[in-house]
Amino acid sequence: MPLLYYWRGDNYARDLDFGTAYHLNQANPLLHEIDLGDSLWAFTRRRDGVYVLVAELVASAKTLNPKGYRYGPYRLWGDLRRSRYFQADGQPDVTMQIRSLSIRAGGDVLGRAFQGHSAVRRISEADHQLLAAYATKLPREPRARLVPEERLEALLLAGDEEAVAVLIRDEEPGLAEERRRYLTTEAVRRDRQHVEALRDLYDGRCQICEWAPRARYGADICEGHHVRWLSRGGDDALTNMVLICPNHHRAIHRVDAPFDFAAGGFLTADGIECLSLNRHEISA
């Protein structure tokens, strides 16, 4: 079942400025009725009042947020290879296309039909095909590119500000200036301290499999992983980090396993990798 979502303009702009998330949070349980592989189409209203289509998130996972999370308990994750963000500037008004769908979107102001829980609406497969055809001519949003997260985390742990800046420059991601500044200044100065704090808290052990290289080899080998990726707008904070062994770290990145707060672990295609050790709050 595909979905249509009205993305408030200020929330959409903040998402681009602080790291395109490729996920969506909502209070409406309808968000979790989407089938994996189906599309959630998002439109917003530009500052000039024009409604434009800004994203297609192809559902790859559905997780639950921490209790009391301000944006609602339900989170939908978009497949990084198939999801798309579209450039809003220069785009024609999409109002007529939205009104031509099978949903009710009457009234003088389109956005008023998408208030509260109604911000997420079911659409038909025929509606999905109409939006897909419309989107073929839309340019991609350059700020939606992501920095390679594994390499970024390794460089932050090394505390190498220059290497982080080079990575961001060479990969040519379309990061907004605010996110670029954060990654090259604040994050690079704080990350190493957070990883050391986690290693002390867990005596160097992996929070998933409890592998203990410090006890066995006298070396700290387990690594800090950002539950919500830094390149997706996550904060460089202890509440957004876990300590895991290199094998689990690589696997979680390679399969893009999101964290489910209700289950207390990372979702994979075969199940869930639960945290067996958890002595600090995680609230990404």
Q: Residues 211-256: pLDDT tens digits?
A: 999 999 999 999 999 999 888 888 889 999 999 999 999 999 999 9
Query: Cα(216)–Cα(152) distance, rounded to whole angstroms?
Result: 28
Domains by residue range for the chain, with CATH = 3-143 (3.10.590.10), 146-274 (no CATH)
What DSSP state is assigned to residue 280?
S
33 Cβ partners below 8 Å, 6+ apart? Answer: 1, 122
Who's near 118: CB < 8 A, 6+ residues apart? Answer: none
What is the rounded radius of gyration, in angstroms, for the C-alpha atoms of the chain? 20
Alpha-carbon dihedral sign for residues 38, 268, 260, 171: negative
β-pair type (74-78, 51-64): antiparallel
Residue 260 pLDDT > 90: yes
d(CA 100, CA 106): 10
Q: What is the pTM of this model?
A: 0.88
* Distance separating alpha carbons of residues 81 and 142, to the nearest angstrom: 15
- The candidate with the shortest Cα–Cα distance to 21, out of 203, 65, 264, 170, is 65
* pLDDT tens digits along 87-134: 999 999 999 999 999 987 766 668 777 888 889 999 999 999 999 999
The predicted model gives 134-143 an average pLDDT of 92
The predicted pLDDT at position 142 comes to: 85
The percent of residues above 90 in pLDDT, for the chain, comes to 64
